[in-house]
Amino acid sequence: MNEPALLVVVTGLSGAGRSTAVAALEDLGFFCVDNLPTAVAERTVEALTAAGVTRIGLGIDVRGRGFLQGAVEALEKLGKTRESKVEIVFLDASDEALLRRYSSTRRPHPLSTSGDERGAHAVVDGLHRERELLAALRDRATIVIDTTSLSVHDLRRLIVQHFGPAGGKRPRIRTRIVSFGFKFGAPVDADLVFDVRFLKNPHFVADLRPLPGTHPDVRRYVLETTDAPEYLKLVEELLAFSIPRFETEGRSYLTIAVGCTGGRHRSVVIAAELARALSERLGISGDLVHRDLDRVNMSGPGGDPDHGPPRAGGGTLT
């Protein structure tokens, strides 16, 4: 049976950060509809779920005050269906904070008793009326966030914590681990780059030179290098520390590049080990790509696939 769609309704006081919260949901992959009248909420959700949308965000505020009377009933009805799970996020703030925000933007409150901008009293009256209209929604909110002392970045971070990977409301971050050769250039889309050229090079072992890094003999040789186990342990610890924090910030994908000289031996082995460790330790699946494993040496026949063309005067230095 398919998982029910996750429906997040963002509401609250005008100026408390609804637009920022809705934008954060969009960054997390939610299909968002802002300023939606509650009278059409059920049909909207039905249409989206029928189209295969599994994460939906709805923004509701007092600009649709003619529809607020039935808001609670409409949302409760949606929550009782098998097709959707409803979370209501209510954004609140102190009157003083909201007044400062309205003063800085010079915009009238939607429910101000006056249609002009003659002073804070009209805004205060609108705020008080707004609290009354939204009281029922606040009482039924599953998450209440006080944005009085929050910046837009703080609010975005809280939304990501609740509905991103760290909150269990979204699949884990997608990783892509790429082995490569520095002689061909580092991947341009790499977020993290690890250099393993300090490890013993199988290229200098006659029996291993023609074998790829995916071969068991090459893997064994690289992993038995004195520094390899300790290096893998340190990199795994770094990734175990970093990746959950990347998820908290809302990052949806991460490209990890591992490079050696030619991208055929050492980087291939280490990249594969990191992919295995991420899967086993953090439960993160991803793509493993060996970019230069089968790359044809551009220097032509007789060239060294790990170090370029033969040097003048012959012989490989040992």
- pLDDT digits over 89-98, tens only? 999 988 888 8
Question: How many Cβ atoms are within 10 Å of 257's Cβ, its own excluded?
Answer: 23
Q: With helix as H, strand as E and coil as C, how does 214-241 read?
A: CCHHHHHHHHCCCCHHHHHHHHHHHHHH
What confidence tens digit (pLDDT) does each residue in 206-239 have?
999 999 999 999 999 999 988 999 999 999 999 9
Q: What is residue 61's predicted lDDT score, i.e. its pLDDT?
A: 76
**Residues of the chain where predicted confidence (pLDDT) is lower than 70:** 1-3, 62-70, 79-84, 105-123, 165-172, 249-250, 252, 296-318
CATH class of 5-167: alpha beta
Where along the chain do its domains lie? 5-167, 174-290
d(Cα 143, Cα 292) in Å, to the nearest integer? 49
pTM > 0.95: yes or no: no
Name the nearest CA neighbour of 285 among 149, 202, 177: 177
- Whether residue 52 contacts residue 91, with contact meaning beta carbons closer than 8 Å, is answered with no
